[in-house]
Amino acid sequence: MTSSATPHPAHSVLPALAAKATHETLPETVIAFAVLDGLLEAIEWANEGVAADEPACMWLSTLRWTRALDGSVPEGAPEPPSRWTDDHFRAIARGLTPEQRTIVNEHADIQTLRGPEMGTPSRPFAKKRLPDHEYQNDDAARLALRSFILGLLPDADGTLTNRLTRDAAALTHGAEASYFYAQSVGRWANAQLWPDAHSAAEDTTEAPELGPFETQVKTAVSEVREPSGGVERPENSATEALLELGNGLAQRWAKATS
């Protein structure tokens, strides 16, 4: 997937996303990292010849984050097996300022992930699919980071990206329009992060609307195209811990997918 002479884009993307996280975008950044590590766990199992349920692995990884936040998984939810991310999630939770903790606790997607069941495209919020207009506050832009980050898995025709971004979106969202948005971000990200696998036309496609995550995403893409030699260390304890998670995740992701 990458040659020994070409650095894996994860080494640029994940630290950049972490370092540029703001109070507003921190909740979705942690969720995005959790989703990616869940997929990484499934890939690691596959590399050992064992099939794993990718959406379930992504969901269990987000439960590790809610366990770090709350001290336990949501009532009725399964207990995820211990994993290397546990210490990092706890460090992020400990480092949250009172303001950050309030933002995290009140975040719509965190509240959804505190439910006992996994959302799927056919049963978002663990309910039978409803018409799009029934999904209130289904803010598609919240899906930008987790969809972008899934572009780290090369996919020339978009089939894999469409499936993974849809499954990741369904963990917290229900509207089909949100899934289409997530897929468009994922396909765009794949073209930006793996230009050699895509046509020149795909590479120059205009970026989807990224909302509050635009700075993070565009910084990450810029770091892949023209590396600056490193990111500035965050001053906030939670963001510092997030950066450590990003660095560790980048190393493991590159090893498992190269």
Q: List pLDDT tens digits, range 10-39.
A: 999 999 999 999 999 999 999 999 999 999
Q: pTM of this prediction?
A: 0.94
Q: How many CB atoms lie within 10 A of CB 157?
A: 11
pLDDT at res. 202: 56
Residues 6+ apart with CB under 8 A from 102: none
Query: Looking at residues 176-187, what average pLDDT do you find?
Result: 94
The length of the chain is: 258
pLDDT at res. 3: 46
Which pair of tokens denotes residue 91? 């460090």
Where does the pLDDT of residue 230 fall: very low under 50, low under 70, confident under 90, or very high at 90 and above?
A: confident
Residues 6+ apart with CB under 8 A from 121: 129, 166, 167, 170, 179
Tens-place pLDDT, residues 94-113: 999 999 999 999 999 999 99
CB-based burial of residue 200 (10 Å sphere; 0-12 exposed, 13-18 middle, 19+ buried)?
exposed
pLDDT at res. 125: 82
Q: Which of 212, 226, 191 is nearest to 22 (CA)?
A: 212
For 79-124, what is the HEC assignment? CCCCCCHHHHHHHHHHHCCHHHHHHHHHCHHHHHHCCCCCCCCCCH
Query: Looking at residues 83-94, what average pLDDT do you find?
Result: 98
Q: What angle do CA 20, 149, 5 make, to 5 degrees?
A: 90
Cβ-count burial 210-245 (b if 16+ within 10 Å, e if not): bbebeebbebbbebbeeeeeebeebebebbbbbbbb
Tell me if 95 sits within 8 A of 248, measured CB to CB. Answer: no
Tell me if 171 sits within 8 A of 39, measured CB to CB. Answer: no
Tens-place pLDDT, residues 128-154: 777 877 776 678 999 999 999 999 999
Which sign does the torsion angle of CA 250, 252, 255, 258 carry?
Answer: negative
4 vs 135, higher pLDDT: 135
Domain regions of the chain by residue span: 21-257
